[in-house]
Amino acid sequence: MTVFLFKEKKMAQKKLLLIDGNSVAFRAFYALYRQLDRFTSPDGLHTNAIFTFKNMLDAIMKQTDPSNVLVAFDAGKVTFRTKMYQDYKGGRQKTPSELSEQLPVIREMLKDLGIKSYELKNYEADDIIGTLSKMGEEAGYTVDIVTGDRDLTQLASDKTTVLITKNGVGDTEAYTPEHMKEVNGVTPTEFIDMKALMGDNSDNYPGVTKVGPKTASRLIQKYGSVEKLYEHVDEMKKSKLKENLINDKDKAILAKKLATIDRDSPVEVTLADTKLEEPNIEDLRNLYERLGFKKFLAELGASGVSAGKQESEKYEYLELTRENIADLDKINEKEVTFYLAMLGDNYHLAPLEGFSLKVSDKIYVSKDVVLLQEAPLRQMLEDKKIKKNVFDIKRTYVGLHRLDIDAEGLDYDMLLASYLVNNENNSNDLGEVAHLYDDYSVKTDLEVYGKGKKQAVPEDDEFFEHLAAKVAVIEKLKQPLLEKLKDHEQDDLYETIEIPVAFVLAKMEITGIKVEASVLNQLGNDFAVKLQELEHKIYQQAGEEFNLNSPKQLGHILFEKLNLPPIKKTKTGYSTSVEVLEQLKMKSPIVSEILDYRQIAKIQNTYVKGLLECIQPDSRIHTRYLQTLTATGRLSSVDPNLQNIPTRTDEGKQIRKAFVPSTKDGYIFSCDYSQVELRVLAHVSGDEHMQEAFKSGYDIHAHTAMKIFHLDSPDEVTPLMRRHAKAVNFGIVYGISDYGLSKNLGISRKQAKTFIDNYFEQYPQIKDYMDKAIKKARENGYAETIMHRRRYLPDIHSKNFNVRSFAERTAINSPIQGSAADIIKIAMINMQKKLDELHLKTKMVLQVHDELIFDVPKDELDTIKKIVPEVMQSAVKLDVPLIADSNWGHNWYDAK
């Protein structure tokens, strides 16, 4: 669909987009390398690169909105560079045939899309791009270049931006001359000289021995160019570097030639040739059909531009109204599919707009949700013997509850199933989820309802079609999804954890937690006074008034007006984060006051004001737990987020005083797991030392301190040692690095490294676990929790060190964080069951990752004190004990 936006939009004046076709195709190929076998056309052609190329192209076109486009390709192996240096790009692996077979098809697709592609004998794509960008600049175009190859950044100028592709399909890093300076310390043209000194491993030509980016950048910054450097090389004082520079002069001179992009290559293309043309819809349709690209075919159909018919599947339906509802017979089927439509994400408040129902092969739709309360429908919804397939059990349950319907037999949840099968895409939209499984017969809500202010229910026909498609697709994809769950050994996770927990969460959300507005208002008044005082003092010291909430303006005051040293920079300017301000505290009293202001302003805006707006007429706040969002299996909480209520500072903690029990003299009771993640680690790693520590009930951080500092008795552990050991333990869970640890503790990297080395020496099986976790993720393509929750990690194969390292740390962390999430979910299910069994009035009201919070009537406190820790501790059986600590009080603040 994006493709057609080009012509609908008024075209930008004179914007030239140049794409390095081989480079982008290469990235596209490897982005879906894992899916190579899944992406084949009916006639056996691999299509992963073509498919991703189109997606990347759409993203780039949307981002750059060009009037002219050219995609440049390499013409072959022999170029003027190989004549100059025969090993140029030597030793490179041959392009895999699975990719090369796709290149002609990409060019065919470009042609059909109305985009010019071009190659030139003896020249590389780089040179075509260099030449065209020069032509473009001279003709007054702004130029965007897209490539994965950093060589091209030498073309950046005030008119040309070089976009380097990153991991995500549409993600790029924009190289302007300024950005170039930040990254390499040199200008784009100087970058050629830098490369002359460094050489290029991937293109297989050497530079000067022992000179890498750091040295090269320093030298070029000092001398300006290779030539100037050699003019002054004799003046350098004696060093190995000087020797190398002199010895390798020839190499440097040659490397400069190889690195320089030819901006005057004999291209036969004119700028007029690059003008974006109308796509050829029929050819595109044929191509997509040949390749089996349902997604893009659907876009052609949906665009309305199409002259062809391309019927997307339609589902027949009957409209139910108050007039014909009586004709509906009693529903006796064992299984039906149901969808409740509302306009908006927040199902506690969003207007209910309609529903659809599939009974056997008939689909019913309606805009009149009140009909659900009528006999045959209500009966069906409240009959637990009639199993309902839905998309999002929790939403459906809460929505029906608002209609005073107690839904029973909600049995299959397409959203939950799809989330467990693969949570890489965490969309909560039925249409988007269906598209993941190649079903394009249902649109997304965004397409049908629009977004923002213009969001609305469309005309009846379109709305009903949408509703009908939804139930049809829920049913259609049920078996495939259930089979996938079985294949993944996730049926247990799905049936015994996620489905039951959906109901537990629904009930918690419906209950909500009581919040005293008067407490928040009082706090708000106090904070307002403090803020005003601080504001006044800060303006006085700054000598002017400014917007304290603007990092930009604050940066100007601190680092330009008051000349404090700018410790850290961000993409857009000076960093003014806590980390930076803490270091500046000593230099000027204004800094401490800014920190105080920030802290209080945050509490005031986010918590006092934010929470007040969320209190409903029943004096309660009803958050929503997102059950299908996180990559690890944790919940998240929105509207409002009740999982990040302040606890670390005293001012912040005051907020908790507003969270109160709903009964007179009742209690807020809180019970949290002690060190779950470390206990999970002790369990999955099988490390005897750590297991022993937990079994003996030692203070784990003190124990770690003894180990890493080689102490004999706990008495020798100082508070500082314990603090350090605690940070090491956290670091282990996150997939530690010496840099991260040193930053966290404010110690040297070397010292951090010693801690880590000692740790691994003392807990060898932990080290072993980490290595194995990475290895397993590489082999399987995913990491897994104790309950078989998966997280796919395609980046684990990345050639990019950073990207790969991140995936490796994730492979270590996800099973730990995810297993802890599994455990508390089990505890929640058991807890709700226990509360029901004992007919208690106590309600479970909040979950904060390792903590459960209850609203307890006075006379149930003793029971709760006993059963909650019992249930939590026995949720699963690990090789180490699970411990949960309880606290209670007459508000959340006092439950500490």
DSSP state string for 36-64: TTT-B-TTS-B-HHHHHHHHHHHHHHHHH
Whose Cβ is closer to DNA: residue 741's or residue 878's? 741
Q: Which is nearer to DNA, 187 or 604 (CB)?
A: 604
**How far is residue 469's CA from residue 755's CA, in Å, rounded to a whole number?**
58
Q: Which two tokens stand for residue 645?
A: 């209520």
CB of 680 to DNA, least distance (A): 13
Residue 286 vs 802, nearer CB to DNA: 802
Do 68 and 17 touch, CB atoms closer than 8 A? yes
For the beta sheet containing 68-73, the strands, ordered from the edge strand earlier in sequence to the opposite edge, are 116-119, 68-73, 15-20, 142-147, 160-165, 172-175
CB-nearer residue toward DNA: 280 or 744: 744
Nearest to 274 by CA among 17, 10, 58: 17
The CA dihedral of 744, 746, 748, 752, to the nearest 10 degrees, is -40
Question: Which single residue is written with the structure tokens 């004190």?
Answer: 865
Between CA 134 and CA 262 the distance in angstroms is: 10
CB of 852 to DNA, least distance (A): 11
Residue whose C-alpha is closest to residue 99's, from 30, 20, 168, 19? 30
User: CA-CA distance, 309 to 828, in Å (whole number)?
Assistant: 52
Nearer to DNA, 465 or 795 (CB): 795
> Can you read off the two tokens belonging to residue 787?
């309950």
Query: Residue 640: is the preceding peptide bond cis (ω within 30°)?
Result: yes
Instruction: Compute the distance between CA of residue 20 and CA of residue 23 in angstroms, rounded to an integer.
Output: 5
DSSP letter assigned to residue 530: H
- Is the separation of the CB atoms in 331 and 354 below 8 Å? no
Cβ 609 to DNA, closest distance in Å?
A: 7
Nearer to DNA, 159 or 275 (CB): 159
Q: What angle do CA 672, 677, 679 make, to 5 degrees?
A: 95
On whether the CB atoms of residues 855 and 842 are closer than 8 A, the answer is yes
Residue nearer to DNA on the CB measure, 577 or 874: 577
Place of tokens 């199933």: 417
Helix 764-780 / helix 749-762 crossing angle, nearest 10 deg: 90
CB of 503 to DNA, least distance (A): 21
Report how far residue 268's alpha carbon sits from residue 377's, in angstroms, rounded to the nearest whole number: 70
Q: For residue 299, give both structure tokens.
A: 């876009």
Least separation, in Å, of the C-beta of 726 and DNA? 9
**Taking CA 225 as the corner, what is the angle to CA 220 and CA 227, rounded to the nearest 5 degrees?**
135
Nearer to DNA, 44 or 452 (CB): 452
CB of 734 to DNA, least distance (A): 4
Q: How far is the CB of 330 from DNA (least distance, A)?
A: 42
Side-by-side strand order, sheet with 513-515: 620-621, 513-515, 659-660
Q: Nearest distance from residue 758's CB to DNA, in Å? A: 14
Q: Cβ of residue 42: shortest distance to DNA, in angstroms?
A: 36
* Shortest separation between residue 178's beta carbon and DNA, angstroms: 13
* CB 369, min distance to DNA, A: 26
Residues in the chain: 896
CB-wise, 198 or 417, nearer to DNA? 198
What's the rounded Cα separation, in Å, for the pair 299 and 294?
9
Query: Least CB distance from residue 381 to DNA, whole Å?
Result: 29
Instruction: Considering the complex, state which of residue 379 and residue 570 has its C-beta at the smaller distance from DNA.
Output: 570
Q: For the CB of residue 771, give the shortest distance to DNA in the complex, in Å.
A: 16
Q: Would you say 407 or 727 has its CB closer to DNA? A: 727
Q: Provide, rounded to whole angstroms, the least separation between the CB of residue 721 and DNA.
A: 15
Contact predicate 601/549, CB 8 Å: yes
Provide the terminal-to-terminal Cα distance of the chain, rounded to the nearest Å.
Answer: 54
Q: How far is CA 209 from CA 204, 215, 222, 242, 245, in A?
A: 14, 11, 19, 10, 8
Choose between 380 and 554: whose C-beta lies nearer to DNA.
Answer: 554
- Interior/surface letters 380-394, b for 16+ CB within 10 angstroms, e for the rest: bbeeeebbbbbbbbb
Extended strands (E) in 110-239:
116-119, 142-147, 160-165, 172-175, 199-200, 205-206
Phi, psi of 499 (to 5 degrees): -65, -50
Q: How far apart are CA 744 and CA 749, in angstroms?
A: 11
Query: Would you give the distance in Å from CA 723 to the centre of its chain?
Result: 31
Nearer to DNA, 44 or 719 (CB): 719
381 vs 515 by CB, closer to DNA? 515
For residue 304, the minimal CB distance to DNA (Å) is 21
* 210 vs 486, beta carbon nearer DNA: 210
